[in-house]
Amino acid sequence: MELVCPAGNLPTFQLAVDKGADAVYIGFKDNTNARHFSGLNFNDKKALRAIKYAQDNGTKLFVAINTYAQQDNIQQWRTAVDRVADIGADALIAADLSVMDYATSKYPNIPIHLSVQGSATNYAALEFYVDRFNIRRAVLPRVLSLKQVKQVAESNKVDVEVFGFGSLCIMAEGRCYLSSYMTGESPNTQGVCSPAKYVEWKEQGDVLESRLNDVVIDRYGPGEKAGYPTLCKGRFEAEGKTYHVLEEPTSLNTLNILPELHKAGVKAIKIEGRQRSPAYVGQVVGIWREAIDRLMANPADFKTEAQWFSTLQTLSEGAQTTLGAYSRPWQ
Amino acid sequence: MTQAQPTKISLAPLPYFWPKDRVLAFYQEVAKSDVDVVYLGETVCSKRRELRLDDWFEIAGHLVEHGKEVVLSTLALIEAESELHSLKQLCTRAAEDGYLVEANDMAAVKYLSDLNAFFVIGPAMNIYNADSLAVLAESGAIRWLPQLEMAGDQVAAIVADYKASQLKTIETEIMAYGHMTLAYSARCYTARHYDYPKDQCKFICLEHPQGIKAKSQDGLEIFTLNGIQTQSGKCLNLLNQWQDLVAKGATHLRIVPEHDQVLEIVADLKQAMEAGENQVLPLKEQHCNGYWNRIAGMAVV
């Protein structure tokens, strides 16, 4: 079982490698990837240093080109694919049909992983991508139950990677346009969700209000912990009730079901968070390395450490974790 | 020179869970309406089974007798084995009976291309460029709906590029009226609103024939909850810009049947198109048209 870890810059990349990642994934400094945040990601020079560091340490490097190529600037996505080939990355993580089409026709030897943004949630969809683009792996959206993950993995169409830890998209990834509805920019088009430049904080008396492009996302009373106004995690009013209509601020943590995921045939566990600090990534990778090593050593008797959970808890959004779609109320 | 086909009016699949009697009565009216193309079927939730596959095909047959083109639409988010099974059944039967299918997931594309059947690329399929459109045309797509978040000039650029580079033609259907589906989740937000687990939802969405409105804490309607779908709070209205839609490549204008009055809107649109007028439905406060104009979807120009 492979541990796939995020890096938004070179120091984080090196730390992820040092802490035992089997593969580290990065993006380039433009909107061809779904973490297009300022100050983040790799230019050519940094990408080359990353691949050198990875190769020296026997770690793989994947590049995410997982936004959707926009018609008026399609060349930008093609150039990004060319750069993946140039640096000799171990895999291209892609979502857009045209990106995969370009990659397979020009660089048939680069393995393609279907990005979570490709939104394939069943084995028939995966078959399409295998037939058409010979994809080698698929990252599954965080909407499936354990039984459903099992069905996809057991169908054996392609290797399956699932998310282990990090911020939780509650919508089927690649099929959420809420951010562009509110701001004009979305994961699919700009590689952003609820972008920071539209965020505003207002204090009114002892109430702290967060807004996104002038829409009130949440209001916090005295003593309440305020969170980033990701629009699906705000408190809204429906039929007289004000609550987290879509989801509470929380992170996904699947440590508890790691043996089941392994048994189901899942080939890789992905850690979310290219936007996170080196300290965050280092801690999370360290814990998951230990967990996977322990599982591999003795799959029949896997025991977790209380300390893993308490540390991951402090690193979580709203200091809460959930099993997300693996938990009963979702199904 | 070939004569350009007149622009057609299409009716999207029903987005909300209505009782069977209401659905049957509605399509009786549709049969007599000005609609050219009717999309039928359940696209939101596999638990919604007021109508069975046989019922949908019966409605389809009735509509065809009244001169309508019928397209069977598929579920958008397919997770369970049972859902794949139903999907395959729908695709196979539609192909046998000679109906087009609207593919709303790549699984449908897989099944339909295996059947050598033509299909429509539904609105949740993420086509943002002409090359991607060509990939699916190769698999059998003959009509597509642009991603809702795309602007009019982007749609026009894709249509032009596709036309210039491909031998086959493709039809372009653009949504002109209705609440927009902006996200799909494993979670059912209607059940969550009632604190019901999804597998014990009691079909509570039957009580919300136009979804549940969610407002920001200062009163702005921002979302409409419809089962696993999160829809826009505002209603898309591009009806008065229908000439621009056609100029940018629309061969079909889509209207979402979200209330009983939509057939009046269809009639007004038809009349405006015949008269070459652009006033169909005045923009109201709860309307939006931002996406088409390359700004936030909820905005109004």
Interface of A with B in 247-276 (CB under 8 A): 247
Nearest CA in chain A to B80: A148
Contacts of B211 in chain A (CB under 8 A): none
**Alpha carbon separation from A48 to A10, A31, A51, A61, A290 (Å, rounded):** 10, 20, 5, 11, 29
Query: Distance, in angstroms, between A305 CA and closest chain B CA?
Result: 30
pLDDT tens by residue, B136-146: 999 999 999 99
Interface of A with B in 53-72 (CB under 8 A): 68-72
B201 is in an annotated binding site: yes
pLDDT tens by residue, A92-150: 999 999 999 999 999 999 999 999 999 999 999 999 999 999 999 999 998 888 899 99
Query: Distance, in angstroms, between B254 CA and closest chain A CA?
Result: 19
Instruction: Name residue, tokens 């007028």.
Output: B277
Distance separating the N- and C-terminal Cα atoms of chain A: 26
Two structure tokens written together for B258:
């979200």
- The pLDDT of residue A250: 84
Contacts of B105 in chain A (CB under 8 A): 121-122, 125
Q: Is A123 exposed, middle or buried (0-12, 13-18, 19+ CB in 10 A)?
A: buried
Cβ A148–B79 below 8 Å, yes or no?
yes
Substitution target in B81, B86, B89, B126 with the highest count of A β-carbons within 10 Å is B126
- The pLDDT of residue A329: 67
**Comparison of pLDDT for A250 and B14, the residue scoring more:** B14
pLDDT value at B2 more than 70: no
Substitution target in B147, B175, B187 with the highest count of A β-carbons within 10 Å is B187
pLDDT tens by residue, B246-255: 999 999 999 9
pLDDT value at A155 more than 50: yes
Q: What 3-state DSSP class applies to B255?
A: strand
Residues 6+ apart with CB under 8 A from B29: B260, B263
Query: Distance, in angstroms, between A320 CA and closest chain B CA?
Result: 18
Cβ A125–B78 below 8 Å, yes or no?
yes
pLDDT value at B48 more than 70: yes
Chain B contact present for A76, CB below 8 A:
no
Cα–Cα distance, A302 to A308 (Å, whole number) = 14
Distance separating the N- and C-terminal Cα atoms of chain B: 37
The confidence band for B1, taking pLDDT boundaries of 50, 70 and 90, is very low
pLDDT tens by residue, B229-273: 999 999 999 999 999 999 999 999 999 999 999 999 999 999 999
Start-end of H helices in A144-277: 146-154, 178-183, 187-190, 258-263
pLDDT tens by residue, A57-78: 999 999 999 999 999 999 999 9
- The pLDDT of residue B50: 95
Task: State phi, psi for B74 to the nearest 5 degrees.
Answer: -105, 160
pLDDT value at A266 more than 90: yes
Nearest partner of A149 among B79, B186, B88, judged by Cα: B79
**ipTM for this model:** 0.96
The secondary structure of residue A315, as a DSSP letter, is T
Cα–Cα distance, B173 to B195 (Å, whole number) = 38
Contacts of B297 in chain A (CB under 8 A): 177, 180-182, 184
Among partner residues B105, B110, B185, which is closest to A171 by beta-carbon distance? Answer: B185
B235 is in an annotated binding site: no
What's the mean pLDDT in A283-296?
Answer: 97
Cβ A121–B213 below 8 Å, yes or no?
no
> What value does the mean pLDDT of chain B take?
96
Cβ A188–B149 below 8 Å, yes or no?
yes
Cβ B129–A70 below 8 Å, yes or no?
yes
Query: Distance, in angstroms, between B131 CA and closest chain A CA?
Result: 5
